[in-house]
Amino acid sequence: MVPWGVSVNKLTSLLLAALLVMLSACTTPRGAAIVSEVVREKKSDSPTFQVVEVNRERLPSLAKWPANGWHGHYHWLKASRGSSSNVIRSGDTVDLIIWDSEENSLLTGAGQKSTEMRGLNVSSSGTIFVPYLDEVLVRGQTPNDARRSIQSKLTQISPSAQVQLMFTPGLQNSVDLVTGVGSPGSYPLPNRNFTILSLISLGGGIDLGLRNPLVRLIRGSKTYEIRAEELFETQSKNVTLRGGDKVLVREDDRYFTALGATGTEEIVYFDKEHITTIEALSMLGGLNDNAANLKGVLVLREYPAKNVGVGLETPDLQQVVFVFDLTNADGLFAARSFEVQPNDTVLATESVVSGARKILSLIGTSFGVVNAATN
């Protein structure tokens, strides 16, 4: 029995009236923006950001816009193979043992059959000093080639002379494995065929705690990068190393943010080199079926001032909102090809229908209260 003599029908009417007032006043909270609120700027006389509706026809021109947040792709070297022998470089140390069986040899002492010359430093000009021969060029030669060259020159002094040569790699014949592995350090190159995967293996492999590891190679003044996954899977990417190379393994720190009516609202790190809008939505767990507006999936991006308004293939304003309509094939295929870039924000706007759903759920709850009171 309803208290105070108020009839069920009257109470129901009052509740419906109150809920209609709430609906007209738009007091129901929303979890994300409505697309009309976001793209209203397009019709402004003095817009503060540019609104671009993305479709297949416009994709080729948008693909020419400057990359944002990075240089657009990872740059890596082509693999090459050399001899299995190493080569002598400036800074290496050479040890010579010269054998000579002749009596009264100029190359050996009295009663000796050999003489040793150890710790010969390869000069910046690539030579070592050998008595009676002066400066001998050895840089760029394999140890065996250098040995034959020295022996050939010595036979002009002593026809029976034989040469034994050993060398110790210096800094220019070593590579540095800096970080991201079990055992970082400086490693001498055993031969000219020593690859980057061999170095990483020698260093104990990539740290398993790294998220989306990226391999960086610094060679002289140039820097090259590749995702570790691609390096492992593609034999042609397994480049040979040179003396002085530096190798680092670090996390790929590129990310985009997710907001609105998606499966998550958080920072999302790139798990491969290129990610399209559809792939980004998949990484987020898709769209919220009860809230998302399929006509209002947005990608928000901010360009550097230097890339704005300098031609037809650049944005007009620094801040750009790319709009996707996923209710038709054109929009879906466009989203499959349009790449999300680092620091972008992927925003799924909220459908106006979701607000109505919330009102209807409140109405249903209210009827439940009335029925309970009646009982």
Pairing of strands 246-251, 267-269: unpaired
Sheet of strand 255-260: strand arrangement: 50-53, 319-324, 292-302, 345-350, 255-260, 267-269
Q: Name every residue whose Cβ is closer than 8 Å to that of residue 171 and which is 6 or more positions away in sequence.
A: 91, 186, 243, 244
pLDDT mean by block of 10 residues, the chain; 375 residues: 52 50 47 62 78 94 90 83 72 92 78 88 93 91 93 89 89 89 92 90 95 95 94 92 93 92 85 94 84 88 90 88 94 96 90 51 44 45
Residue 197 is predicted with a pLDDT of 96
275-334 pLDDT tens trace? 999 999 999 888 877 778 888 899 999 999 998 988 778 999 999 999 999 999 999 999
- CA atoms of 10 and 141, how far apart (whole Å): 103
- Residue 169: the pLDDT is 82
Domain ranges of the chain: 35-70+254-357, 93-168, 176-251
Architecture of domain 35-70+254-357: Roll (3.10)
Residue among 194, 213, 211 nearest 84 (CA) = 194
| Integer Cα distance of 159 and 253 in angstroms | 65
Note the pLDDT tens digit of each residue in 171-191. Answer: 778 899 999 999 999 998 887
What pairing do the DSSP bridges indicate for beta strands 292-302 and 319-324?
antiparallel
Same fold, 35-70+254-357 and 93-168: no
Q: Is the pTM of this model over 0.85?
A: no
Query: Which CATH architecture is the domain 93-168 placed in?
Result: 2-Layer Sandwich (3.30)
Note whether 92 and 169 are within 8 A (CB): yes
Number of C-beta neighbours around residue 107 at 10 A: 20
Superfamily (CATH H level) for 176-251: Outer membrane lipoprotein wza domain like (3.10.560.10)
Specify whether the CB–CB gap between 322 and 42 falls below 8 A: no
Distance separating alpha carbons of residues 260 and 34, to the nearest angstrom: 10
Question: Would you say 218 and 193 are in contact if contact means Cβ atoms under 8 Å apart?
Answer: no
Q: How far apart are CA 63 and CA 55, in angstroms?
A: 12
Q: Output the pLDDT for position 81.
A: 63
Buried b (16+ CB within 10 A) or exposed e, 60-96: eebeebbebbeeeebebeeeeeeeeebbbbbbbbbeb
pLDDT score at 82: 57
DSSP element (H, E) containing 230:
helix 228-233
What pLDDT score was predicted for residue 198? 95
Other beta carbons within 10 angstroms of residue 307's beta carbon come to 15
Q: Which ranges of 109-181 does DSSP label H, i.e. alpha helix?
A: 143-154
Six-digit token pair at 362? 């409140």
User: What pLDDT shows up at residue 293?
Assistant: 87
Give the Cα separation of 16 and 173 in Å (integer).
Answer: 84
